[in-house]
Structure 1
Amino acid sequence: MLKKSLYSLISIVILLSMVLTSMSIYTLYSKKKLSVDPKLKEVSGIEFDKFKRLWAINDSGDDPKLYRLNEDGSIAKEILVTNAKNIDWEDMTQNDFGHFFLGDFGNNKQERKWLTIYKIENPIDIKTDTTEAEIIKFTYPELDGSPIPPDKRNFDLEAFVAFGRHLYLFTKNRTEPFDGITNVYKVGDHAANFDAQLIDSFKTCTTMEKLCWITSAALSPDRTKLVLLDSTSIWLFENFTGDKFFSGDVSRIDLGIVTQKEAITFYDENTIVFTDEEFKGIGGNAYVIKLDEVTKTIIKKIPKASED
């Protein structure tokens, strides 16, 4: 009798696990918009140009190129940045004027002293298949050449946004033990050498580093919403003051199963597009969510000021 009960319990657990997995898969794939061209299997940054056409960049190993995608995910155009290198391109963003910024700042081993951001004009203004970039360099003043202790290894980077006349960089945490904190650094948005200024931090989660790493960031066109992306979630920040992005309301949007989600951007104030890299036949897609249609888990809510 005991053995029969144990088998029944195991069967129920397996069934529940299958149901939860199926729900998690549906949560992600119900949002799928298109499959990305295989040439962009390591897509690491996306942005819409002024004509609302989607552009993407690849991670390290590719040429220093931007790719415009057709509505079916195929490649419509390529632009080579002639004075750039793709050591480890990790994100793409744009400012209020439409300039694109390409972040060559991946720093997995945290051995790169100087990191690079390439600034180009909006792709609709590039009439040929090549362009030159304005070059922004920065370093972390905390790095003095000494070995970085395991609990301080928070100088990898895969996410940034343009706000005002500055760029804001969100670190990919590699501390041991993992503490889930993304630090925010600030640099100028023009050609110069900068010491990145640490201005804030936010803890995502500590479940597992690969689930909580911040891999991309985006600001809404009206600059009132910030999103950070990890492997399972979108972190949404609203009602913040100035560049204190974490000072307002915080909520989390569940994206279902774990895939290598690496790029996110806004199409409009309510519509978010994100992508994942292809790995063993999984991923390699672009997904769309509407903020007024998804479930948001409130992490922090700032009380409204009294009208008295």
Structure 2
Amino acid sequence: MIEDSGNAPTIYGYDIQKKLVAQTITITNAKNTDWEDLASDLDGNLYIGDFGNNHNKRNDLSIYKVERVGSISEKETEATKTSFSFEDQVQFPPKKKNRNFDVEGFIFLNDYFYLFTRNRSKHFDGTTSVYRLPAKEGSFKAKRIASYITCTQKQECAVTSADYDLETNTLVLLSYSNVWAFSNFENDRFFEGTVKHIPLQYPSQKESISFKNSDTVFIVDELTNIVGGNLYEMKLNN
């Protein structure tokens, strides 16, 4: 688990059975400008997305890599860094009608990161853009490869997290009120296969989605005005 902007550059290991934080690791060479999402690879490496960009004016977007996080026993470690900017962003911030450069969800797939934007444009139309960049240390331009219209209510439809399951080749996107599950696609053409829309039972500030197994996801919402602060488990095929 992570906390977002202004908090310590620390990751937390949560024990689901005991319902407590079992481990904390501080990333000593990182800064938590606005951490938003986590991803991982098959080698046990953890990736931290420092790309929250509510006002679309940041020029220091980055992703941190913590190697083999499951084998770390110390309370501190270092990370390597991927810095990036968007190939099609020329103003910081752009005009209010073009503010689609905030990212709150990403995945790791085939040595690339895929970033899914949270649209903050003045006239929200539900579009999330997908950007791709190499998953390696250095500085890169994120290339826009696709877009998808979720739904048109800004509070309910803006993308807040993403995850990917390799076994079933399924991508999930989260918003405050919905989950979209994409499957049966080839390579990174996520939106050219099958999509399943799952409305959630009640709206809250849902900020994270993660696969527990190929049929089940965890969803977390933030505590806001005594609402939220919960960990949910949901079957995708119910």
Whether TM-score is above 0.5 comes out as yes
Contact 1:185–1:199, Cα closer than 8 Å, also in 2: yes
Which of 13, 17, 40 lines up with 1:94 in the alignment? Answer: 40
Q: CA deviation at 1:145?
A: 3.6
Which of 180, 189, 203 lines up with 2:126 in the alignment? Answer: 180
Provide the C-alpha distance between the structure 1 equivalents of 2:209 and 2:187, rounded to a whole number of angstroms. Answer: 22
| Bigger Cα Rg | 1
Provide the C-alpha distance between the structure 2 equivalents of 1:242 and 1:147, rounded to a whole number of angstroms. Answer: 32
- C-alpha deviations, 1:117-155, integer Å up to 9, x for none? 000123211121111101000001222246512221100
Which of 140, 150, 159 lines up with 2:86 in the alignment? Answer: 140
Contact 1:163–1:223, Cα closer than 8 Å, also in 2: no
SS in structure 1 opposite 2:19? Answer: coil
Q: CA deviation at 1:114?
A: 2.8
Partner residue, 1:299? none
Higher relative contact order (CA 8 A, sep 6+): 1
- C-alpha deviations, 1:66-107, integer Å up to 9, x for none? 111122432111000010000000000112222110000000
Higher percent of residues as helix:
1
State yes or no: 1:194 paired with 2:194: no
Equivalent residues in 2 for 1:208-287 (5 A)? 209-222=154-167, 224-287=169-232
**TM-score normalized by structure 2?**
0.96
Provide the C-alpha distance between the structure 1 equivalents of 2:67 and 2:145, rounded to a whole number of angstroms. Answer: 28
Provide the C-alpha distance between the structure 1 equivalents of 2:53 and 2:95, rounded to a whole number of angstroms. Answer: 16
In 2 relative to 1, CA 59–146 (structure 1 residues): closer, same or farther, beyond 3 Å? closer
| More displaced 10-residue stretch of structure 1: 94-103 or 236-245 | 94-103
SS in structure 2 opposite 1:210? Answer: helix
Q: Structure 1 counterpart of 2:94, which letter?
A: I
- C-alpha deviations, 1:153-187, integer Å up to 9, x for none? 10011000000010000000011211110000001
Provide the C-alpha distance between the structure 2 equivalents of 1:223 and 1:164, rounded to a whole number of angstroms. Answer: 15
| More displaced 10-residue stretch of structure 1: 215-224 or 263-272 | 215-224
Provide the C-alpha distance between the structure 1 equivalents of 2:106 and 2:88, rounded to a whole number of angstroms. Answer: 19
Provide the C-alpha distance between the structure 1 equivalents of 2:168 and 2:28, rounded to a whole number of angstroms. Answer: 31
Partner residue, 1:130? 76
| More displaced 10-residue stretch of structure 1: 236-245 or 118-127 | 118-127
| More displaced 10-residue stretch of structure 1: 138-147 or 216-225 | 138-147
Q: Aligned-residue CA RMSD in angstroms?
A: 1.2
The alignment-based identity, stated in percent, is 40
Provide the C-alpha distance between the structure 1 equivalents of 2:233 and 2:79, rounded to a whole number of angstroms. Answer: 30
- C-alpha deviations, 1:25-53, integer Å up to 9, x for none? xxxxxxxxxxxxxxxxxxxxxxxxxxxxx
Pairs aligned (count): 237
In 2 relative to 1, CA 147–115 (structure 1 residues): closer, same or farther, beyond 3 Å? closer
Contact 2:104–2:116, Cα closer than 8 Å, also in 1: yes
Unaligned runs of 5+ in 2: none
**TM-score normalized by structure 1?**
0.75
Higher percent of residues as strand:
2
